[in-house]
Structure 1
Amino acid sequence: MRTTILWLLCPILSSAAPQLKPAHALAVGTSATLDGVRLDMIAAKPSVAEVVLAAIPRDGWTVTCDSSQPGNDCSNAIDDNSDTFWLTDSGAPLPHSIVVDMKTTRIVGNITIQPRQDNTPNGHIGEHQVFLSEDGENWGSPIAIGTYLDDANLKTTIFTPANARYVKVTSLSEAGGRDSSMSLAELNVYEGTALPPSPATAGSWGLTIDFPVIPVSAAIEWSSGRLLVWSSFSPSNFVGDSGHQTSTAIYDPATQLVSARTITNTNHDMFCEGLSMDAEGRIVAVGGNSDYGTSIYDSTSDSWTAGGDLKIPRGYQSQATLSDGRLFTIGASWSGGSSTDTPKNGEIYDTATNTWTALPGCPVTPMLTSDPEDKSLGHIYRGDNHGWLFGWKDGSVFQAGPAVAMNWYGTDGTGSQSAAGSRASDTDSMCGNAIMYDAVAGSILTLGGAPNYVNSYSTANAHIITLSDPNVPPTVTTLPSMAFPRAFHNSIILPNGQVFITGGQHLAIGFTDQTPQLIPELFDPTTQSFTQMAPLSIPRNYHSTGLLLPDATVFNGGGGLCGDCAANHFDAQIYSPAYLFNPDGSAATRPMIESLSAAELAPGASLTVQTSGPEVTAFALVRLSSTTHTVNTDQRRIALERGEGGTVTLPADPGVALPGYWYLFALAEGGVPSLAKFVKVTTG
């Protein structure tokens, strides 16, 4: 049997309207109207980076397992019959493993697991590990880990291509906790593309993490370094009766375990929320499917609590933490009615009192894009989505995009607004990225995006915006373009000041793997140039996420959330930048931060850092961050000079050194980073 996964032919929806019902699909080149929303299906130009994976024929394969019941032998897992299945012996303790021998070494790129199809869930694989081997004895570290969703749908685990003759799947838990069994109906192994390039120059994609939810939103827990992700009321869908709950999961890098939890106590479906981390490092999710709600996650207690309701219902907004610790949000007509009827002007959140206050002096109109979908609908729906917001000096907010027009917003009293000029000759750049890679210099890098939210070709445009004081128009520098046009991509600040740009697609259409950009790029602010990095194995388009982890690697995951569509990606991969490798590809020796004179300090204060290992040439602060729908207003970097005795001094302005938790990295020659220590910057 030969099976092909073709990532170019899945259904595509042009509008992510909250009224849509699941499982509606249209043929390419057609259109229809559903609940008053027009859905256009247009043909996409093929990308140079198209991925076709074929199942390896199982002729002559053999399989072994640790346990099986009579009649449910492990050979059933490769018999091309989904009506039969392998099931471990009753009472046999976990973990359980199954090993296939393909008889010859191949380049392997992914596996699929078909759970048993007899309407009995016992034995569904939960926590698991996937190993590859060329000799069946030396397995090394797992190439993939995680937890599968507890259902009978096909499970796909994609990983960086590698040579293997043997594939082993180990189940560490039964998905529903019902017993200690493991079962599966069919196990297929798929051909991989070419082996990856040398990590010394291109970096390296490593561990795949399978989640029981699609990681549409993600944030870092400062107290543990764990990664919190969530989708919507459902692990795989955002439309329907939400029940005002959110499906979440936590990945612990220390244990490599993934746990799931459904949040019901805040009565909030957090999909398409505004998102930022407050001055105490709490994760604050606002609006979305539940358009008035506020939910706050405290990592020290591992708990969610409800905050105050918005004054204006909204979803698809951006939200930024300010120099005084308050939170500002604006825009978002995707949920809660149109800004045409109730303008989605700014409002401010006081986390101490849990109250939102409207700012009528912060109008949304100056930051609107010119999206034709708004014109066809007769009201604002797309034009006020996903603002590029940056908290700055004196409680101000700078809006850098995605509209060509830029603006300053003030948050005192009832608020204020002043125009800040245009982003040079750029187009509207919806679902592009904006990253404050040098907060001391006020430097913001903008990348890509598309003129319209959907049915629009993205650009490769790149600019640097340099801020000075509030209400002063910034300078805008046009850079040479990226190698690839991108929308729905993610851009992550690295400890050395470079920016890693991953994923996205050429033609901006939600819920499809069409036209993926599988080759990441690295922006070097010193040369102001882009370099291509090791290719992705998995498309990361609409609803993908990307964050810097405490060990200076990058998390990149998600995509989809469209019911049973082929664009759903319940997974992530970890990217190790080239600074973690020697010229021969071996692991670089990293400096270590042994101790800090303080873990909490005010802007302008000094900190003494004791290190060991390679000589440290500099330090850097990178703010912990949260992201959803290409928006990450939290992340920014501060370069710190190494003073006498390892002393560093923070910038004195809290608009530069925003309150909250930051990673502190020590950097050796070549920008090799230490593991991060967590430092809290107070409001002063």
Structure 2
Amino acid sequence: MLRLFAFVLSLSSLSSFAHAKPISAEAANAGVASNSAATEGKLSTEGSTTYDGQELSAIPAAPSVSEAIAAAISQSGWTIVVDSQNTGTSNYGTNAIDGNTSTFWHTEYQPVLVPLPHNATIDMKTAYLVGSITYLPRQDGQSNGNIGEHVIQLSPDGTTYTTVAFGTWIDDATLKTTTFTPFTARYVRILALSEAGNRGPWSSAAEFNVYTASGSAPPSPVGHGAWVYTIDFPLVPVSIALEWSTGYLLAWSSYTPSSFGGSSGTTTYTATYNPATQLVTQAIITNVDHDMFCEGLSIDFNGKVIATGGNTDAATSSYDPTANDWTALANLNIPRGYQAQVTVSTGNVFTIGASWSGGQGGKNGELYSPSANTWTELANCPVAPMLTADAQGVYRADNHGWLFAWSSGYVFQAGPSKAMNWYLTTGSGNQTGVGNRASDTDSMCGNAVMYDAVAGKILTLGGSPDYQSSNATANAHIITIGTPPATPTVQTIGSMAYARAFANSVVLPDGTVFTAGGQVSAVPFSDATSQFVPELFNPATNTFTQMAPASIPRNYHSVSLLLFDGTVANGGGGLCGTCATNHFDMQIWYPPYLYTSAGALAARPVINSVSVASVAVGKTFSITTAGACTAFSMIRMGSTTHTVNTDQRRIALTPTTTSGTTYTFTVPVDPGVAVPGHWMVFALAGGVPSVSKQLQVTLT
């Protein structure tokens, strides 16, 4: 049985957690009331058979509460121990495992108001391979006691508990499902750290149910990595960005936590995951009048998240992690949604395409200047050369470009069209076609990752010829770009084991590339034909190795990012109202490099210090480690939505001098290679990476 890495919380330690201020009950409920509309512009209602005018299978509704309970492990013979119960109103702990949704457990509030945290421990009397639990809040029309922040722990013996999930549940009466890596357990413990609406120090539950895993126990992490825990979010994380100042993961959905659409939406639901405290807090963004769903996304030289267009098709907003605040910026000249954008070597932000909103066609390139807060249309950067031959025409053909910043203000467009192009973003712009991506097809909602920026190497993976109702490929290519606008070289390599559309790919400190999720047949809001087995690309051999299988489908609207500690956050999928394919969670994957040959967690090298907080391109910096290290790299912090992450790129670092365990490096002089901004610096010993230190690369 896989030994999951656990941060095991004692009850005494829970009260010391630093809780960020939650949103009010009124604010939380305001966005939940309208969740029945699952409309992304052209998807009319839940269960509709048409999406963007094309016939599809009806989106399956989420199982009813009675259906979910019927599928659970029988509660017969179970016992439960709770820290508190309100006996005066018969709100006993046993009500949470009696199969009756009309009764509920409530912690004591009279004559004594018992403070948080609270806990409930279930003894199922028999050990099962457990794969998920559900929590049903009270169903009497009241909300007091809805559990918000929580921890879920499992135990085979009632003595040693392993944390398999934590996070924050949304504040409503719907059934909450938490799925995790299968674990053999007899005991289930739910720790309630907060009340979801901040109404008081109590907890309540109509029902807790437990479900067996559909598969088998996960393999040893040796060579396969491991999915170590699940993080529950109070929204479907469709867009995410890494905050350079804290290492927090910022996530957002749309104008509601679980659906999108609405032509007048000017609100965005967000949530923040803090890896250090394992807490998820939430906020509703209204001050910028921007529903940021389906936006263009990138991080600028100063580490600010720049979000453009989307459901509010002309708006531009920025998020400053140091101030924890969103600011409205100048509007786009060309309204857009589903665009890719990229921070270029000049410090400006380039975007192109995106006919999902703001009208169809003519979504030529334009450039944002952060210093002047202005958008300028680039007359000579037409979108037409990068269109795919999508069955739905330009509405889909200009979506989700694979854009890479490069030298002298150039941007390389590697896909998803099979046609490749250089775009110059200075002056009035320029476009140069450089042929097709070998024999590849159009590869909408595939992946492209610059895993070796110094060599200009880009790995492309999967995707499908049409956006939807189209079979994905397993195709893989390596594009090597040089001095623009020269034609790049394209190498066709061995395919992935699995065809994938809507998957996500992340470059790791050692130069390997992790790809997770996706489906064989690209159908938005469907979990059919899901690919659960991730793959790891090895650039030394140009081959793929299958990793430990995930337990949650990750398809349309899923996301992935590298975290400060060299692990990967992979989550989301759905955002379709009351459908069955909403995934309010993320899972953390530990790559194989974090394990010894015996399957234990490896000792990690340590970076004691970095000589400077910022360094200009072409200049030097040093790091001092606690012991000898054999390899080094830096990876630009990422942001991603709809399979696109134009920020991430990796630079392998070679010391120019070494003195003991102090190593000195020179940053590449080309800002098209070492794009200014915030980077994670890693040291590796025996292939095992350190936790990163942060370094800002500047233009001068």
TM-score by length of structure 2 reads 0.90
Q: Deviations over 1:215-236 (max 9, x none)?
A: 1000000001111000001000
Verify: 1:354 aligned to 2:373, yes or no: yes
Tell me the CA shift for residue 137 of structure 1.
2.1
Q: 1:486 to 1:451 in 2, by over 3 A?
A: same
Structure 1 partner of 2:425: 411
Q: Secondary structure at 2:273's aligned position in 1?
A: strand
Mapped to 2, the partners of 1:170 and 1:22 lie a distance apart of 37
Q: Deviations over 1:420-445 (max 9, x none)?
A: 11000000000000000000000000
Structure 2 partner of 1:62: 79
Letter in 1 for 2:404: F
Structure 2 partner of 1:251: 273
Verify: 1:79 aligned to 2:95, yes or no: no
Verify: 1:610 aligned to 2:632, yes or no: no
Structure 2 partner of 1:23: 46
2:164 to 143, 149, 163: 143
Structure 2 partner of 1:644: 658
Tell me the CA shift for residue 89 of structure 1.
1.1
Structure 2 partner of 1:386: 400
Tell me the CA shift for residue 24 of structure 1.
3.9
Q: CA RMSD in A?
A: 1.5
Deviates more, 1:81-90 or 1:654-663: 81-90
Structure 2 partner of 1:185: 206
Q: 1:114 to 1:79 in 2, by over 3 A?
A: same
Letter in 1 for 2:387: L
Structure 1 partner of 2:337: 315
Q: Deviations over 1:378-425 (max 9, x none)?
A: xx2000000000000000000000001000001121111010110000
Structure 2 partner of 1:583: 597
Mapped to 2, the partners of 1:136 and 1:21 lie a distance apart of 49
Mapped to 1, the partners of 2:40 and 2:551 lie a distance apart of 29
Letter in 2 for 1:325: G
Verify: 1:563 aligned to 2:577, yes or no: yes
Verify: 1:113 aligned to 2:135, yes or no: yes
Q: Deviations over 1:590-627 (max 9, x none)?
A: 111111111211111111110013x2012101000000
Q: Deviations over 1:509-528 (max 9, x none)?
A: 01111111000000000000
2:456 to 442, 446, 452: 442
Write out aligned runs for 1:621-632 (5 A): 621-632=634-645
Tell me the CA shift for residue 242 of structure 1.
4.9
Structure 1 partner of 2:53: 37
Structure 1 partner of 2:23: none
Q: Secondary structure at 1:382's aligned position in 2?
A: helix
Q: Secondary structure at 1:608's aligned position in 2?
A: strand
1:219 to 232, 237, 241: 241
Q: Deviations over 1:152-192 (max 9, x none)?
A: 00000001111110000011110001111111111110002
Mapped to 2, the partners of 1:300 and 1:219 lie a distance apart of 14
Structure 1 partner of 2:325: 303
Write out aligned runs for 1:91-490 (5 A): 91-140=113-162, 142-192=163-213, 193-240=215-262, 242-339=264-361, 343-374=362-393, 380-490=394-504
Verify: 1:674 aligned to 2:690, yes or no: yes
Structure 1 partner of 2:646: 633
Q: 1:240 to 1:43 in 2, by over 3 A?
A: closer
Structure 1 partner of 2:8: none
Q: Is the 8 A contact 2:576 2:582 kept in 1?
A: yes
Mapped to 2, the partners of 1:462 and 1:264 lie a distance apart of 42
Structure 1 partner of 2:15: none
Letter in 2 for 1:128: H
Q: Is the 8 A contact 1:21 1:239 kept in 2?
A: no
Q: Is the 8 A contact 2:258 2:575 kept in 1?
A: yes
Q: Deviations over 1:257-316 (max 9, x none)?
A: 110000000000000000000000100000000000011000001100011100000000
Q: Is the 8 A contact 1:22 1:239 kept in 2?
A: no
Q: Deviations over 1:496-536 (max 9, x none)?
A: 00000000111100111111100000000000000000000
Mapped to 2, the partners of 1:55 and 1:482 lie a distance apart of 36
Letter in 2 for 1:673: P
Mapped to 2, the partners of 1:488 and 1:16 lie a distance apart of 19
Tell me the CA shift for residue 39 of structure 1.
3.7
Q: Which runs of 5+ in 2 are unaligned?
A: 1-37, 61-69
Counting matched residue pairs gives: 644
Q: Secondary structure at 1:76's aligned position in 2?
A: helix
Q: Which runs of 5+ in 1 are unaligned?
A: 1-14, 27-31, 45-52, 375-379
Verify: 1:544 aligned to 2:561, yes or no: no
Tell me the CA shift for residue 571 of structure 1.
0.2
Verify: 1:620 aligned to 2:620, yes or no: no
Mapped to 1, the partners of 2:335 and 2:594 lie a distance apart of 45
Letter in 1 for 2:180: F
Q: 1:184 to 1:43 in 2, by over 3 A?
A: closer
Q: Secondary structure at 1:656's aligned position in 2?
A: coil
Mapped to 2, the partners of 1:464 and 1:135 lie a distance apart of 50
Q: 1:373 to 1:42 in 2, by over 3 A?
A: farther
* Structure 1 residue ranges, 4+ long, deviating more than 6 angstroms after superposition: none
Tell me the CA shift for residue 22 of structure 1.
4.0
Letter in 2 for 1:651: P
